[in-house]
A and B are shown apart, each in its own frame.
Chain A
């Protein structure tokens, strides 16, 4: 089976909470410099720079020099690839919760009407 170390790197990149927070900030703001990002993070500028470098290496962000500043921004397509697996997990829970809601509400309604009419136990066995 073919295996891509590319995917490994991508996985490692988003597995780190500090880097996820950085991506979150970049998505929210569109663009940012290492300095402005440091202001919102509880880690040093050196650490931020290291994380940004890693994110750039796996292609999750791009950098652009503007005068004396380097601005970073998210590459959305690449981020979509990286997070779609996690989004899938979240989607599954949404789906399951809706199914739980449907079941619980149906069985509750069935039980109420059953006890109101007391003419059978249809639905009562469901919960």
Chain B
């Protein structure tokens, strides 16, 4: 079965190893992603990400590293309850792919898949729709992009 997939890509003016460290080292993950990152770039490593850490309702999700081939591929399952074991039914799969265009430029691609296989509760589905109900209008290009054909432009 094909799964729902989001794919995005960006060009970065930095060597591949700098980009690798930015996406895998906990101290750096904290600057672009979660407030707290307890994760190790090693296949099978299990950890957690904490969002909204400074509020009354922090959101802690599990993360399990699937692949860590420095500096080319980093992949993990996430957004499952931290006391559960990651699987297709409770998590999505994120894969970062890094390609060195030159020794000073890196292409970083991220693919998140498995959203449509998640066993979301009714409340969660409801929330998905309610959170974003008053959003934007879907345009044709946008839709094709979303449905997997294209990828993101970088600014």
Chain A: residues with CB nearer than 8 A to chain B? 1-4, 7-8, 10-11, 15, 17, 20-21, 23-24, 27-28, 76-77, 79-90, 93-94, 96-101, 103-105, 107-108, 126-127
Residue B115 at the chain A interface, CB threshold 8 Å: yes
Which residues from B are CB-within-8-Å of A88? 131-132, 135
- Of A27, A96, A127, the residue contacting B33 (CB under 8 A) is A96
Name the residue among A10, A85, A96, A99 with the largest chain B CB count within 10 angstroms: A85
Q: Cβ of A84 and Cβ of B135 under 8 Å apart?
A: yes
With contacts A15-B4, A27-B144, A94-B8 known, is A87 near B122, CB below 8 A?
no
- In contact, B147 and A93 (Cβ under 8 angstroms): no
Interface contact B136-A87, CB-CB below 8 Å: yes
Within 8 A of A (CB), among B100-155: 106, 108, 110, 112, 115-116, 120, 122-123, 125-126, 128-129, 131-133, 135-138, 140, 142-147, 149, 152, 154-155
Using CB atoms and an 8 Å cutoff, list the residues of chain B in contact with chain A: 1-2, 4, 6, 8-15, 18-19, 21-23, 25, 28, 31-33, 106, 108, 110, 112, 115-116, 120, 122-123, 125-126, 128-129, 131-133, 135-138, 140, 142-147, 149, 152, 154-155
Contact call A94/B152, Cβ cutoff below 8 A: yes
Contact A87 B19 (CB under 8 A): no
Whether B131 and A108, one on each chain, are in contact in the complex, defined by CB atoms closer than 8 angstroms, is no
Specify which chain A residues have a CB less than 8 angstroms from the CB of B31 in the assembled complex. Answer: 99, 103
Q: Which residues of B contact A84 (CB under 8 A)?
A: 129, 132-133, 135-136, 138
A-B pairs, top 6 by smallest CB distance, nearest first, are A99-B32, A108-B14, A84-B132, A85-B128, A84-B135, A104-B14
Bound-state CA distance A10–B125 (Å) is: 10
A93–B6 contact, CB under 8 A?
yes
* Main DSSP-derived SS at the B contact region: mixed
What are 5 sample pairs from A and B whose C-beta atoms fall under 8 A apart?
Answer: A87-B146, A96-B110, A99-B32, A103-B32, A108-B15
- Separation of A104 and B28 alpha carbons in the complex (Å): 10
For the complex, what is the distance from the CA of A21 to the CA of B144, rounded to whole Å?
A: 9
15 more contacts with CB within 8 A, not counting A15-B116, A27-B140, A104-B106, are A3-B122, A10-B129, A11-B128, A76-B138, A80-B135, A82-B129, A87-B146, A90-B145, A90-B146, A93-B6, A97-B154, A101-B10, A101-B154, A108-B13, A127-B21
Contact among B4, B12, B137 for A104, CB-based, below 8 A: B12
